[in-house]
Amino acid sequence: MKDFRTLTVWEKSHQLTLAIYHVLKNYPKEELFGLTSQMKRSSSSIPTNIAEGCGRNTDKDFARFLIMAFGSANELEYQIILSKDLAFIDNETSNKLLVQVEEIKKMLNALIHKLSK
């Protein structure tokens, strides 16, 4: 069992979640139960799955939760692209968030491979 707060990938995904919540304050009110809700769930799911996986007893179980976190990162990546295309966020904000998602995905992928060996 690991302390998830010591993992850089958890910290970066937590910071991304905070950034998403901040950006979503400017979304249209009619998206409150649509895209806004989905983005809150997918962004928070990344660090949540990392934290839950750290509480598991085997590397195989931990890796399974990291794979779910990776899936949530992919989901969030699309939602950011959709947000830009719908003009809810500008190109600069979109690019900044996408860079963060990509970094997290790379870190998750490396950790998954390390645990799978």
- Give the C-alpha distances (Å, rounded to integers) separating 39 from 26, 28, 69, 84, 110: 13, 14, 14, 13, 24
Would you state the pLDDT for residue 1?
A: 66
Q: Which domains does the chain carry?
A: 4-116 (1.20.1440.60)
Would you state the pLDDT for residue 30?
A: 94
Would you state the pLDDT for residue 22?
A: 98
Which residue ranges in the chain fall short of pLDDT 70? 1
Would you state the pLDDT for residue 106?
A: 98
3-state DSSP call for residue 58? coil
Tokens matching residue 80: 């950011």
